[in-house]
Structure 1
Amino acid sequence: MQCDYFDGGRCRSCTLMGMPYAAQLASKQERCAAALAEVAPSITWLPAVAGPESAFRNKAKLVVAGRTGAVTLGILDDSGRGVDLTECGLYEPGLARTFPVLAGFIDSLRLEPYDVPARRGQLKYLILTHSPDDELMIRFVLRTGHEIPRIRKALPRLVAALPRIAVVSVNLQPEHKAILEGDTEILLTDRSTLPMCVNDVVLGLRPNSFFQTNTAVAAALYRQAREWVEERSPDSVWDLYCGVGGFALHAAASGREVVGIEVAPDAVESARASASELRRQHPDVGPIRFTTADATAEPDAGLSSADLVIVNPPRRGIGSDLAGRLEESKVQEVIYSSCNVDSLARDLALMPSFSVREARLFDMFPQTDHHEVMVRLERT
């Protein structure tokens, strides 16, 4: 992939830009294999899963900068000034088409972009998500709620310009800190959920829900997990750090109990709605239950009855407490999806009763050294 922003030194976020894509994949595979070699010496690596090397991102997190009436959407340079990246080639076409429309909308309302060096202004970020059905979720991240009435009043005009808008919200982030969003979310539309159709499962994303940035590769990740689950054919599956239920709902089947644990209440509510829809389409599926709890601290009782556990933790991994409980449990198989192979290796070392049978690299982020690797563990 060639990028004028990278070549011109305006953006260096894609650290592997210019490297042939086959070489990128080989480098990531080598990195992950080396990290797991000591804790999983007999591991079998399946072929890496890759999607398009450009136009793959379903989500954009755009810094709003520039000046009132002439905003930039992109990133900040080293001095805290805006660098416009509206022609970046990483985004899905349906998402990229919205950038000039949104910039024009912001300019027409004369919303003041937040000036980081001066600590002045209102609009900090636009966070956008694009669905496979070409629908759109838009989040305006503001310092205060002062501009909400103007955005709300002008919203019909924005919907007329972008008819596929499903959800619009305002997030309030009042602090001068390098954090993307705050705790307060204010919906401006009747709809609160963006449906994401992944394989044969529809996941509902609310404004602050997490979902993988690469829809095509995420679909492959869920298919692989489902395949591993079906090979084992467990009676009970627990999905820890389940988010909106992607792994759990792909594991659902007739006669099988599926339980999801997630700390975010909105995500649990979305997962429950998706489970209801799945049951409507497939009345024979077994019981599906989602619970709001800390996956690291809460699931002891459930682990004693689970045949198979799926974990998809943040970068820090599952940690010693949960790894220890899995080690001491009667769970026979674990599927571990990780975005940090180093924390994965540390966690695997804490579970010596399990051996890694298979692993697979899923390249969610071409042009960078980020990786997603999923491993299948069996108790020995």
Structure 2
Amino acid sequence: MQRGPDHPLRCEYHAAGLCFSCTLIDEPYSRQVADKQRAIAALIDPLAPGLRWLEPRLSEQLGFRTKAKMVVAGTVDEPTIGILAADGSGQDLRDCPLYPPALSSAFAPLAAFVTRARLEPYSVPLRTGELKHVLVTVAPDGDLMVRWVLRSTEALARVRKHLPWLLEQLPRLAVASVNVLPEHKAVVEGEREIVLTERETLAMTVNGIDLHLRPQSFFQTNTEVAAALYRQAGAWLEAVSPDSLWDLYCGVGGFALHCAAAGREVVGVEVSEQAVASAQRSRDERLAADDATMESVTFVADDAVGWASRQRGAPAAIVVNPPRRGLGEELSRRLEESGAEAIVYSSCNATTLARDLAWMPSYAAREARLFDMFPHTAHGEVAVLLERR
């Protein structure tokens, strides 16, 4: 892939008609961002007279993805690592330039591992085989997490046997696991995870804070832009200076840990027990390092909607970072009635964001900012500061 100062990028996979994941790659990056913000603003602005849009936070155009979800296809001796073609065969994307070298350099050893451990790639047309995906995450310091998604544990012994060889090939491999996905359906992973290494978490250092990712933890795939998103939320809340804060859908604690302040009571709520365990570990490590801002930070494993509805009172401020489905009516109306002074809403789906804002008429959207997590696609993350009227 080649680029000019503001010209469309050329990707050889895209040019050859082999991959169309980057749907906007033929457009200059400045136009991509302008169109993305225009589309989001068209949904939000009618609900927010006087809303101030901050300058978009741009992304690197190459090497920005720190997580790869690769389909494994082909044969044991000639595996492909990439995506599926229209006919169900594998299309290798090992040279996709969206991945940084620290991540993409792992693909060749991982392909060799498929052959060495005799992991038969899964065939979608035939519904045969064991290995469906290989998921790779790289931390800012270069450490790696690798997960093999298998249909059963039949090959588990072979994975264990040959793992020492892979550790020699990939010295930065810190966490390795097998995920079991027996169903014949188009999902990336199953519920069962078997960790194969002594380390169980990958430390993603963001703005000087270690966020611990377990194999099934959600984390933004664009770490640099995610760091800017956390800083923005922290800056908004610093101006409001609330004495208490809820972080709903807190994940591994990114917003809660970044928005903590001495004397501020922070509660992070996340349904995933693994994510909460990771968030607690990050908090405990900072407490051990005499970080006084962590003294009043707690995390709860619970459904955000149910937990918020059971609370009698409300904090001075709330951060919400829901999945694409948004908050929904019940939680939006709970926040509307909360009396919180400010809400920071981080959304990956402007349509559900606009819907939720309509259920919170007591809050005025003051500032908003686009965070371009996914260059060359129509997807974007937008954060909005809401203040009580």
What TM-score range do you get, normalising by the shorter chain? over 0.9
Q: How far apart, CA to CA, are the structure 1 residues paired with 2:154 and 2:261? A: 49
In structure 2, relative to structure 1, the CA distance for the partners of 1:282 and 1:357 (3 Å cut) is: farther
Which deviations, in whole Å up to 9, do the C-alpha atoms of 1:100-150 show, x marking residues without a partner? Answer: 111111122221000110000000000110000100000000001000000
User: Partner of 1:360 in structure 2?
Assistant: 369
Q: TM-score, normalised by structure 2?
A: 0.96
Contact 1:355–1:378 (CA<8 Å) still a contact in 2?
yes
The answer for the alignment partner of 1:203 in structure 2 is 211
CA offsets 1:235-262 (integer angstroms, 9 cap, x no match): 0010000000000000111111110000
Question: What letter matches 2:170 in structure 1?
Answer: L
2:175 counterpart SS class: strand
Cα distance in 1, alignment partners of residues 205 and 171 from structure 2: 19
Partner secondary structure for residue 336 of structure 2 = helix
> Could you tell me which of 228, 241, 246 is aligned with 1:233?
241
1:71 aligned to 72, 75, 79, which one?
79
Structure 1 unmatched ranges of 5 or more: none
Q: Which residue of 1 aligns with 2:46?
A: 38
Does 1:164 find its partner at 2:172?
A: yes
- The answer to whether 1:99 aligns with 2:107 is yes
CA apart distance, 1:303: 6.9
Tell me the amino acid that sits aligned with residue 283 of structure 2. Answer: A
Q: Which residue matches 1:59? A: 67
- Asked whether the 8 Å contact 2:133–2:148 carries over to 1, the reply is yes
Checking the alignment, whether the CA contact within 8 Å between 2:116 and 2:162 is kept in structure 1 is: no
The residue number in structure 1 matching 2:28 is 20
Q: Report the Cα distance in structure 2 between the residues aligned to 1:350 and 1:36, rounded to whole angstroms.
A: 13
SS of 1:38 mapped into structure 2? helix
Unaligned runs of 5+ in 2: 1-8
Structure 1 residue 79 displacement after superposition: 1.2
| 1:311 equivalenced with 2:352 (yes/no) | no
Indicate the SS of the match to 1:298.
helix
Q: Does 1:137 align with 2:145?
A: yes
Instruction: List, as ranges, runs of 4+ consecutive aligned residues in structure 1 with deviation greater than 6 Å.
Output: none
Deviates more, 1:22-31 or 1:343-352: 22-31
State the identity %: 53
Instruction: Please name the residue that 2:300 is paired with.
Output: 291
Other-structure match for 1:334: 343
Confirm whether residue 125 of structure 1 aligns to residue 119 of structure 2.
Answer: no
Contact persistence 1:56–1:214 (CA under 8 A):
yes
Give the aligned partner of residue 223 of structure 2.
215
Map residues 185-204 of structure 1 onto 2, 5 A cutoff: 185-204=193-212
Q: Distance in 2 between matches of 1:204 and 1:240?
A: 18
Residues 243 and 268, structure 1, Cα contact 8 Å, conserved in 2: yes
Find the aligned partners of 2:89 and 2:310 in 1 and give their Cα distance. 52
What SS is found at the alignment partner of 1:279?
helix
Q: Match for 1:357: what amino acid?
A: R
**Larger deviation, residues 280-289 vs 310-319:** 280-289
Name the amino acid aligned to 1:219: A
Matching of residue 379 in structure 1 with residue 351 in structure 2: no
Displacement, 1:302? 4.2
| Equivalent-residue separation in structure 1 for 2:34 and 2:191 (angstroms) | 40
Structure 2 residue aligned with 1:180, among 182, 188, 198?
188
TM-score of the pair, normalised by structure 1: 0.99
Number of aligned positions between the proteins: 380
Q: Any conservation in 1 of the 2:48–2:364 contact (CA below 8 Å)?
A: yes
